Amino acid sequence: QMTASAMAAACTSSTEAQSAPHSVRIRSSQPGHVVPPNFVGLSYELAQLSEPAFFSPQHQDLIAMFRRLSPSGVLRVGGNTSEFCWFRATPATPAPKLHVPPGDLAQNWMPHRLFAIEPAAIDALAGFLQATGWTAIYGLNFGNSTPERAAAEAAYVHKRLGSKLAFFQIGNEPDLYQKASNGTRPPGWGFDDYVREWLAFADAVSARVPQARFGGPDTAAASDWVIRFGDEVAPKLGERLVALSGHYYAEGPPNDPRVTTERLLAGDPNVEQSAREIVRTADAHHLIYRMSEGNSCYRGGKPGMSNAFAASLWAADYLLTLASLGCAGVNLHGGDSRFLSAGLGDHNPGLEAAGNKKQSAPNGFYTPIATEQGQPAEPRPVFYGMQLAQHFAGGSMLAVESAQDPMLRPYAAEKNGGITVALVNKSSSADREVAITVERPFSRAGMMRLTAPALDATTGVEFKRADVSTDGTWDPRTEVMKTRTNSLRITVPAASAAVLFLR
């Protein structure tokens, strides 16, 4: 076994061989955006509620996973299946008319079957939210529904969820209604039609539930729809509108050869640009902006990437980027594979007969929490990246100055009187030595590291404490060296991340 000093010597010689350390200066006197305590969230298909036992106070292992991620997160239920769910208020309530698009259903990723949601599922959801400490965003059907149906469902949801209901959404990804042809709107239908119909739904809900709050437009990709929605709908709704929302999938579809881990980790400049624009609009109308659904790759994710350690690093970096830009929260999508678009073939005899089984099990590669039938809920790699970002919830992001390096991503926040720093090294091969300087002295540091055997590892991901100092003595085995009263050096190995807690 190596002694501490031998190990320190080994570390020193390996870092000495490198060029000058990457400098990160934390402007602790320049607090930026506040990261709300409920920043971290999850998104699930609304069809998950067709099985009332899923989000229920009895689902103890799932409750434990939610609590492990955040004591106060946001669960959003919606997605493609929300356009196919209907509220069966009583056994006599008739099903809505299901629009089936013309043409080849095999080219179409919508479920094309209805899912009934019983009142018992809403009752169970209320208990689940009580048990987790989370709130919910509830997505109402806008595709195969009517304002009257939406109002009846909203009234029951509001009555049962009470203060656990953050807000309603109406419809999923309306900007794709034409392109993904869910078959519910005529050709040529566009943004103006959308706003008119959306307002009719919102007004019908408000007539039944005057306290109802709304977010939207929950678009797939079009940030211009988000901005137009804010500008046009906020003045009409007044305080009834509380959030702008939109989705983000970094890549897709999974069978496109351009969808790679390298491209995922290289980052996407559009994220920053569109978040800035949306936050500006949200601020102008006193709304929050929430990225209400997304993940590494649409259509259920790509195996070897979405279910691997690469997705942990992507999630940590992506969530902290949005936090630093003033986004109020992020809901990464997942859930039981049978309800995700990749798995719906298994659930849909019509599509199966048409030879469109889409992807065989196991599906839902991007899910943060695995809940396959009969198995206990367990964290998947993306979960650990979200856990890292959760350490910034409740803090205020700080300005960070560092050399331009797209693969080494530094973040800092003022939190609980200390400074939390995250360094995400997305490089697959280059270790980084980082010199961190803060504008004020610190004497203690705690540290956590996010590691795994390899970028494509689907098991062995760890996010755990690797403490630096408890009493001002610095342990060289952690590869952290205090260099001055207000600075330290840390090695962040290739494909890993570290969080430091300085005080």
CB of 137 to ligand BDP, least distance (A): 13
Q: For ligand BDP, give the closer residue by CB, 45 or 251.
A: 45
Q: How far apart are CA 92 and CA 90, in angstroms?
A: 5
Q: For ligand BDP, give the closer residue by CB, 84 or 463.
A: 84
Contact 490, 497 (CB under 8 A): no
CB of 342 to ligand BDP, least distance (A): 6
CB of 8 to ligand BDP, least distance (A): 47
In the shown chain, the binding pattern of residues 120 to 159 toward ligand BDP, with x for contact by CB under 6 A and - for none, equals ----------------------------------------
CB of 358 to ligand BDP, least distance (A): 10
Could you say which DSSP state residue 469 is in? B
CB of 245 to ligand BDP, least distance (A): 12
In the shown chain, the binding pattern of residues 215 to 244 toward ligand BDP, with x for contact by CB under 6 A and - for none, equals -----x------------------------
Q: Using CB atoms within 10 A of its CB, is residue 241 exposed (0-12), middle (13-18) or buried (19+)?
A: buried
Q: How far apart are CA 363 and CA 273, in angstroms?
A: 32
Q: How many CA atoms lie less than 13 Å away from 17 in the CB half-sphere?
A: 7
CB of 326 to ligand BDP, least distance (A): 24
In the shown chain, the binding pattern of residues 56 to 95 toward ligand BDP, with x for contact by CB under 6 A and - for none, equals -----------------------xx---------------
Return the H-helix or E-strand segment holding 218.
Answer: strand 214-219
Q: For ligand BDP, give the closer residue by CB, 339 or 383.
A: 339
| Residue 340 binds to ligand BDP (criterion: CB under 6 A) | yes
> Which residue in 50, 132, 172, 324 binds ligand BDP (CB under 6 A)?
172
> Which residue in 83, 153, 173, 251 binds ligand BDP (CB under 6 A)?
173
Question: If you search the block for the tokens 């939207």, which residue do you land on?
Answer: 216
CB of 392 to ligand BDP, least distance (A): 26
The answer for 47, left when phi > 0, alpha when psi is -120 to 50, beta otherwise, is alpha
Site size with ligand BDP, rule: CB under 6 A: 12
The residue number whose beta carbon is nearest to ligand BDP equals 79
Stretch that binds ligand BDP, among 20-28, 84-92, 232-240, 296-304 (CB under 6 A): 296-304
CB of 80 to ligand BDP, least distance (A): 3
| Residue 293 binds to ligand BDP (criterion: CB under 6 A) | yes
Peptide bond connecting 71 to the previous residue in cis, omega within 30 degrees of 0: no
Q: How far apart are CA 368 and CA 73, in angstroms?
A: 14
Q: For ligand BDP, give the closer residue by CB, 339 or 463.
A: 339
Q: For ligand BDP, give the closer residue by CB, 39 or 298.
A: 298
Q: How far apart are CA 251 and CA 258, in angstroms?
A: 9
Q: How far apart are CA 240 and CA 61, in angstroms?
A: 35
Contact 95, 87 (CB under 8 A): no
Q: For ligand BDP, give the closer residue by CB, 380 or 432.
A: 380
CB of 439 to ligand BDP, least distance (A): 43
Q: What is the 3-state secondary structure (H, E, C) of 382-437?
A: HHHHHHHHHCCCCCEEEEEEECCCCCEEEEEEEECCEEEEEEEECCCCCCEEEEEE
CB of 170 to ligand BDP, least distance (A): 14
Q: How far apart are CA 83 and CA 96, in angstroms?
A: 11
Q: For ligand BDP, give the closer residue by CB, 45 or 479.
A: 45
What is Dmax (Cα atoms) for the chain? 76
Contact 293, 218 (CB under 8 A): yes
Peptide bond connecting 253 to the previous residue in cis, omega within 30 degrees of 0: yes
Backbone CA torsion sign across 451, 454, 455, 458: negative
Closest CA to 171 of 135, 208, 202, 192: 202
CB of 248 to ligand BDP, least distance (A): 10
Site residues (vs ligand BDP, CB under 6 A): 45, 79-80, 172-173, 220, 293, 298-300, 340-341
